[in-house]
Amino acid sequence: MKPGTSRARLALFLAFYLLAAAWALWVFVRRPGMDAYDKARFGDTIHGRAWRPFVGRVLVPWTVRAVMAVVPDGAEAAVGNLVRQGVVPGENPGYVDEYPFEFAVTAALLLLCLVGFALALRRLAGVTLGVTGWRRDVVPVPALVLLPCMYIYMNYVYDFPALFLFTLGLLMVAERRRAAFLAVFAVGCLNKETTILLSLVWFLQFRKRVSWRRLLADLGLQVLLWLGIRGGIVLLYRDRPGEMLEWWHLSRNLAIPSKILAQLRGRPFGQIVRQRGANFLALLAGVAVLASLRKAPVFLKRAFWIVVPLVVLMFFFGFFDELRDLYEFYPVAVLVLWSGALRLLRPRAGLEPSTR
């Protein structure tokens, strides 16, 4: 393909990525929005007043406050007025009107994270699946469009950065770029403590490729980075109310099966879909992912193991039916599904030419 044609195609898909990202963000800020939990209200999160552990996910809040510190008051007021007047289609949620400039900066950051996720996923698809051209370019589009299925109960400002940075971290592992990986890892630690799961992928990917001495040195550096960054944040916000982990979710999670059965009993099908449609879609997607996993590329099989600690963490410290807890696993699931689809379309084609 001629370079001009390739650039034109990429520009077209970038436009698709931006539109799909804008759609995902528009739904994100409205249903259920970023202000649904009283311990992590939007304004409290941005200004460091949220409860632990939410106050410790500092990447977006610190960035927003840094922007506020350098932007002149007049420009801040002008942007705030534009947001209050409804530059985004639809009626503004209350927290948008209360913190308009903070919302504008946060929304811009989240949009950049979504586009970054699309570009990282596109490249990761090329590295792991061996796809090129439009087959690689199209991979992020449904991944972005279907993101609203993950929005159950509440959203947080650190969700999309976690999705982007974890996908980028996976790409750095697949491309064996140690220095770049450490930079992404460090930034990810500022955003969320689950960044440490990238170390599991690193271990599984390199345990038979490098000496144990080198592997342990790499993992030791990652653990020290994680402990230093996360430990510093814990100390910084040690006086905030709350716990480092919300351990009280276990009793609720144990009751979920009976709750779902009660909701299904005697309800019209349409009402069931509205109440639990995202969970049923996730269940079907999970079955499809497992069906595709056996012949998936080796790197994706290794990265798939992060779902085990994520599910354990969800069960004890989160809502077991809250899909947003699986953002770190989302790019892996997407690419495993694509690998299954590609094998159906071209069963004799080999995948993953460069990451075995």
Look at residue 283 and tell me if it is in a domain: no
Is 253 inside a domain boundary? no
What is the rounded CA–CA span in Å between residue 300 and residue 204? 11
Q: Which domain holds residue 209?
A: 3-245
Task: Indicate whether 322 belongs to any domain.
Answer: no
Contact 122, 135 (CB under 8 A): no
Amino acid 354: pLDDT: 45
Q: Give pTM, 2 decimals.
A: 0.90
9-18, 130-139, 141-150, 341-350: segment of lowest average pLDDT: 341-350
Three-class SS state of 242: strand
Q: Where are the alpha helices (DSSP H) in the chain?
A: 3-28, 42-46, 59-70, 73-84, 94-98, 100-129, 133-137, 140-145, 159-174, 178-191, 197-206, 212-236, 250-254, 256-264, 269-293, 298-303, 307-317, 330-345
Rg (CA), the chain: 21
Question: Does 317 fall in a domain?
Answer: no
Average pLDDT (196-215) is 96
Among the residue ranges 25-39, 94-108, 189-203, the one predicted with the least confidence is 25-39
Residue 350 counted as domain residue: no
The arithmetic mean of pLDDT across residues 70-98, rounded, is 84
CA–CA separation, 95 and 66 (whole Å): 20
Residue 255 falls inside a structural domain: no
Does a structural domain hold residue 111?
yes
The residue among 89, 81, 82 whose CA lies nearest residue 27 is 89
d(CA 317, CA 146): 25
Q: How many domains, in total, are found in the chain?
A: 1
